[in-house]
Amino acid sequence: MTAVTDLVAEAAALDAADPLAHKRNEFDLDPGIAYFDGNSLGAPPKHVAGRLAAVVREEWGGRLIRSWSEGWWEAPVRVGERIAPLVGAAPGQVVVADSTSVDLFKALVAATRLNPGRDEILVDADTFPTDGYIADEVARLTGHTVRRVVAEDMPSEAGERTAVALINHVDYVTGRVHDMAELTAALHRAGALALWDLCHSVGALPVELDATGADLAVGCTYKFLNGGPGAPAFLYVATKWLDRFEQPLAGWAGDRDPFAMRGAYEAHDGIARGRAGTPDILSLLALDAALDVWDGVDRAVLREKGLALGGFFFRCADELLDGATIATPRGTDRGHQISVVDDDAAKTMAALIERGVIGDFRPPDVLRFGLAPLYTTYGEVLRAVTTLRELRVR
Amino acid sequence: MTAVTDLVAEAAALDAADPLAHKRNEFDLDPGIAYFDGNSLGAPPKHVAGRLAAVVREEWGGRLIRSWSEGWWEAPVRVGERIAPLVGAAPGQVVVADSTSVDLFKALVAATRLNPGRDEILVDADTFPTDGYIADEVARLTGHTVRRVVAEDMPSEAGERTAVALINHVDYVTGRVHDMAELTAALHRAGALALWDLCHSVGALPVELDATGADLAVGCTYKFLNGGPGAPAFLYVATKWLDRFEQPLAGWAGDRDPFAMRGAYEAHDGIARGRAGTPDILSLLALDAALDVWDGVDRAVLREKGLALGGFFFRCADELLDGATIATPRGTDRGHQISVVDDDAAKTMAALIERGVIGDFRPPDVLRFGLAPLYTTYGEVLRAVTTLRELRVR
């Protein structure tokens, strides 16, 4: 068995060689805390506070209503364009607006309209509950049926009745990544559309919406994109569908000519039609500022470090956590989150947090450790595992 | 004709006697600007910037994910309770979430479910366009028909087919206030529900939702509530309907036990079921801070000052703007906005703004001057009218 001191040296060597190590300094993180919940709430980039203060003082206070025509109104599409490269999207397909739940509703209703004559919505059975809740409500309004199917079975389950399938790119409990290219192709063979939930992959690993032929996607910006608590979500609509994309939340912001105050709604050209109400500027511009940390980040390097952090977690666990069950796959079919099974997960996580190791748990029995390649260190991974070991041998 | 110097003295006397004059100091307003667009974007209370900075630094950065259980999760209902007294609502009926457009969608779909067997939605024909757009989309999904009727005709037009009528409390173009008690009673006699859009009345004048028997209401917080650009909207559901209120945006935040991550949605007790996705904390807590300016404000005094500001506007216009047409009623059936008809409204408003008098215009021909009782002065009203006069005599 490797001694802990060896692992300490190994972690130090890995941190010293980390090509993303300089990014850590861009975040406002208490050095006494090992933070592993960037998969739930990303840490704040240091410059966001100052930028937000300037928005309040100069744009809201100083320019007042004039700011709407000085950049605010177009911000949902402009900030969407900044997210596009992180999800493998060419320009014109991403807009930032509303919450993930609301964007899922827009995307699902629109999907049923894009693929008429089919009466079924498939939902990833292991996805985050909201996805299923929203699908049930869409079905109630459109007359469709919802069927819950695990992602791996989508190719065999999708059929001539399937209008659209909603799949979580990374399973939020186990951290497993689903193969977007393969599943999308299988759904297309069945004549169904593929709608991807990117909440647990965007900002953590490369996503290739255009290259895999994905039809629609939604994602949140408050996890690995560090946009702030409850920051607005984004919606992706593939270019091929934009002209026919008809979403049900036809608020004035998605209208072709909103300030003409016309009586009948006509959808805006392009992705701006994904908007609903007046954009939430404080949150949106905090997100805009937060996205600066991605400048110059190579997505392949990001992925490599995320996998390496996870690999080091496995290595530490193998050495120090005898017999622990880890729900996350060991191969490259994982995102940047390690899920340790623990019978008393709620209490164990509370004890970890008390010791300065902050992750979270998901019922009934999973401890989640998010690995954010921009700021998580190998030293912190070792600290998480050694702290967990201390709690287990008590 | 009264000399301008007399009006100057009159404005000074009115400002000196203004019981709300001290409130002006709570706002961050350039003293060189006369701001009349609080009906579109309220001015920032001075303390909001510091409070928001503390949220970013201490709650997001310092406490990280722990903040969700230290007040963030419940904020939508907690902040809703602070708005309740401003709309005449007893506790438990107001939640802050999403945009006005999205909340309108929730309320309209829920209304059709609360009043089944009726197939018509009436929409105030003069309301802000979003209200009609959203109603059209709800109708498309639920099979209802939308009929546009001016508010005054609602009592005669509502019939046995009418499920719900959506009315703007204050007409956004003319500034006219509709009689909530009378129209709600008439709708109830026809067996229809009354859904009120409070965007142009909340924070400007007293609203009495409970006392008038209103069924549902929505409103925005970025106008007279000064919550910040695009700040989240609120939804009111009368206590009598709460148990049966079923909104279609069944995101996890409105679930009875969201962190149990259950497969089937079950609406939360009470008004929390009006929530959809993860609340947008930065915007929500900026709004929370902004609401402090209402501490100690008597709503009757607010109304009195708003009417007096408008009255002084009329008086100045009578003296200085020979033959000008004002679309706003002169009686007490007006909100706190004066609408001056001008054939070249867009250009005239641009010229006013160049001279430091900031209002807005609405097509085709209306100049809007919002009167925010918490910070607008009589001296500014006179400045608006004299500047308008200068432009007219050129």
Instruction: For residue A43, list chain B residues with Cβ-Cβ distance below 8 A.
Output: 61, 64
User: What pLDDT does residue B66 have?
Assistant: 95
Contact criterion met (CB < 8 Å) for B282 and A52 = yes
Nearest-by-CA chain B residue for A65: B41
Measured distance CA(A341)–CA(A288) in Å, rounded: 36
Residue-by-residue DSSP string for B21-62: GGGGGGB---TT-EE--TTTSPPPBTHHHHHHHHIIIIIIII
Which residue from A254, A258, A284, A259 is spatially nearest to A272, judged by alpha carbons?
Answer: A254
Reported as a single tens digit per residue, the pLDDT across B94-129 is: 999 999 999 999 999 999 999 999 999 999 999 999
Tokens encoding B38: 């609080």
Nearest to B183 by CA among B229, B137, B151, B147: B151
Q: Are B280 and A49 an interchain contact pair (Cβ–Cβ within 8 Å)?
A: no
Q: What is the mean pLDDT of residues B330-356?
A: 95
* Residue numbers in A near B255 (CB within 8 A): 129, 133
| Residue-level pLDDT at B323 | 85
Q: pLDDT-derived band of residue B5, with 50, 70 and 90 as boundaries? A: confident
For residue B131, give the nearest of B190, B185, B195 by alpha carbon.
B195
Give the C-alpha separation, B277 to B293, whole Å: 28
Residue A392 falls in the annotated catalytic set: no
What would the mean pLDDT of A328-335 be, rounded to a whole number?
Answer: 95
How many CB atoms are closer than 10 A to CB B305? 23
Total residue length of chain A: 394
**Residues 6 or more apart from B349 whose CB is under 8 A from it?**
B359, B360, B361, B367
Nearest CA in chain A to B138: A248
Answer whether residue B137 shows pLDDT above 90.
Answer: yes
pLDDT tens sequence across B57-94: 999 999 999 999 999 999 999 999 999 999 999 999 99
CB atoms within 10 A of CB A315: 18
Per-residue pLDDT at A110 exceeds 80: yes
Quickly list DSSP for B150-207: -GGGHHHH--TTEEEEEEESB-TTT-BBP-HHHHHHHHHHTT-EEEEE-TTTTTTS--
pLDDT value of residue A256: 95
What integer is the mean pLDDT of A76-96? 98
Count of C-beta atoms within a 10 Å radius of residue B58:
11
Among the listed residues A223, A275, A334, A383, the single catalytic one is A223
Residue A288 has pLDDT above 90, yes or no: yes
Closest among A149, A81, A138 to A110, alpha carbons compared: A138
B196-209 pLDDT, tens digit each: 999 999 999 999 99
Q: Is the pLDDT at A331 greater than 60, yes or no?
A: yes
**Among B40, B62, B263, beta carbon nearest to A129:** B263
Sign for the pseudo-dihedral over CA of A242, A244, A249, A253: positive
- pLDDT reading at B213 higher than 90: yes
Q: How far is A202 from chain B (nearest CA, A)?
A: 17
Assess whether pLDDT exceeds 90 at residue B248.
yes
| Catalytic entry in A27, A36, A128, A361 | A128
Report pLDDT for A46: 97
Minimum distance, in Å, between the CA of residue B32 and any CA atom of chain A: 11
Contact A233, A222 (CB under 8 A): no
Residues A370 and A294: their CA atoms lie apart, in Å, by: 18
Q: Could A353 and B141 be called an inter-chain contact, meaning their C-beta atoms sit closer than 8 Å?
A: no
Distance from CA of B107 to the nearest CA of A (A): 13
Tokens of A91: 């320009």
Per DSSP, the residues of B124-152 read ETTS-HHHHHHHHHHHHHHT-EEEEE-GG
Spatial contact of A333 and A176, defined as CB atoms under 8 Å apart: yes
A191: left (phi over 0), alpha (psi -120 to 50) or beta: left
Residue B1 in this model has a pLDDT that exceeds 60:
no
Can you read off the two tokens belonging to residue B188?
């109830």
Residues of chain A contacting B350 with CB distance shorter than 8 Å: none
Mean pLDDT of A352-367: 95
Instruction: Test B278 with A57 for CB contact under 8 angstroms.
Output: no
Using alpha carbons, select from B220, B99, B134 the residue that is nearest to residue A255. B134
Domains of chain B: 4-46+297-393 (3.90.1150.10), 71-294 (3.40.640.10)
- The full length of chain B comes to 394
Euclidean distance between CA atoms A208 and A185, whole angstroms: 13
- Is pLDDT above 60 for A187? yes
Give yes or no for a contact between B169 and B179, defined as CB atoms under 8 angstroms apart: no
Instruction: Give B24 to chain A, closest Cα distance, Å.
Output: 14
Q: How much of chain B, in percent, has pLDDT values that exceed 90?
A: 95
- pLDDT at B394 exceeding the cut of 80: no
**Separation between Cα atoms, residue A56 and residue A281, nearest integer Å:** 10
Give B255's DSSP letter: B
CA triple B41-B42-B48, angle to 5 deg: 120
CA distance A324 to B232: 44
* B252-299: pLDDT as tens digits: 999 999 998 888 999 999 999 999 999 999 999 999 999 999 999 999
Residue A350 forms contact with B (CB below 8 Å): no
Q: How far apart are CA A257 and CA A184, in angstroms?
A: 35
The token pair at A178 is 């689903």
The enclosing H or E element of A292 equals none
What integer pLDDT is reported at residue A2 of this predicted model?
63
- Interface contact A280, partner B, CB < 8 A: yes
Our CA angle for B368, B371, B376, nearest 5°, is 130
Element (H, E) at A36: none
User: If you search the block for the tokens 């192709």, which residue do you land on?
Assistant: A185
DSSP of B319-346: HHSTT-EE-S-SSSSB-SEEEEE-TTHH
Give the model's confidence band at B2: pLDDT under 50 very low, under 70 low, under 90 confident, else very high: low
